[in-house]
Amino acid sequence: MNKKIVFSGVQPSGSLTIGNYIGALKNFVELQDEYECYYCIVDLHAVTVPQIPKDLRSHSLDVLSLYLAVGIDPQKSTLFIQSHVPAHAELGWILNTITYMGQLNRMTQFKEKSKKSDENLNAGLFTYPVLMAADILLYQSDFVPVGEDQKQHLELARDLAERFNSRYSDTFVVPEPLIKEFGARIMSLQDPESKMSKSDRDENAFILMLDNKDAIRRKIRRAVTDSLGIVAYSDQQPGLKNLLNIYSVLSDKSVDSIVANYDGKGYGEFKDDLADVVIQALSPIQERYKEYRQDKAFLESIYREGADKAEAFAAKTLRKVYKKIGFIPRI
């Protein structure tokens, strides 16, 4: 029986936030029993913004340790580092040749990033979504669990798969995004109109997966709400709506039941309880993280085996692609 294939990736470009956890990592764990899962540490993507080499190395192992700490089981899922499998860059090049400039110009994430980093507006940042399509298509992925911010990139991956298939005959599976109804877009705690992001200059805007208890409590207490003073889930109260989403996903309780529980109570009590919920969800992950992160030999064995397995799959797809477009096989 062939299981359907799941692929996703996370950039090792800093510490991960609870946005990354709720929008992505938490869902990775839930999928691994039913699907054949490939979870990648996308270091080739990370270098589209300047990285300090020593920190990049360290962050890659941090992400691998977090993958394990949240409960991804390397016996079930394949965990690997993108730069270990050269087929990603190679297929990325081929896909570049069938991607229209206009399509990449329309990518909102590129537009936002280019506003922020005009001194480093490199070509890699522009073709970033093409490499992402290569990641996904190499593994003939059926499903791609991501947060809401990656939706447009997924549409490009689907489009490129369809374009290649119609030009050269059926080659790629056309992937479907898996975006959850709740938690796919966790917002900044300081500005509930913008996404929670690890690159935010204001530390109070995000909670890191590795933040200690005091930092978590402090940041939640300082989270921007409103002057209505009623715990309710509505677009008129975007700050509270965001906090309720976090509460609901991390406690496994419905938003309605949480709202009912705070009837007549103030934001202070709600925030204190939310801090408890977040701390309870993250503490066991942080404990496991510490153990994995110091076991370098174990981490090495995971990413080595992962790369072997991923490479075998990816090479097969790439051979097929090269043959279809008319490259002479090396024999």
Q: 313 vs 169, 247, 279, 320, CA distance in Å?
A: 20, 39, 39, 11
If you search the block for the tokens 């669990």, which residue do you land on?
Answer: 145
CB of 216 to ligand TYM, least distance (A): 16
Sequence-distant (6+) residues with CB within 8 A of 217 are: 272, 275, 279
Nearer to ligand TYM by Cβ, of 154 and 262: the residue is 154
CB of 39 to ligand TYM, least distance (A): 9
Q: Which two tokens stand for residue 33?
A: 């029993």
CB 183 within 8 A of CB 247: no
DSSP lists the bridge partners of residue 39 as 8, 79
Where do contacts with ligand TYM occur on this chain (CB under 6 A)?
7-11, 19-20, 22-24, 42, 45, 132, 135-136, 144, 146-147, 149-150, 184-186, 195-196
Nearer to ligand TYM by Cβ, of 13 and 262: the residue is 13
If you search the block for the tokens 């300047």, which residue do you land on?
Answer: 50
CB of 151 to ligand TYM, least distance (A): 9
Give the CB-nearest residue to ligand TYM: 23
Tell me the longest C-alpha to C-alpha distance in the chain. 74
Nearer to ligand TYM by Cβ, of 235 and 263: the residue is 235
CB 231 within 8 A of CB 262: yes
Give the three-state DSSP class for 3: coil
CB of 243 to ligand TYM, least distance (A): 13
Nearer to ligand TYM by Cβ, of 11 and 262: the residue is 11
CB of 260 to ligand TYM, least distance (A): 26
- The residues assigned a catalytic role are 113, 195, 198
* 250 closest CA partner among 306, 209, 205, 200: 209
Nearer to ligand TYM by Cβ, of 191 and 261: the residue is 191
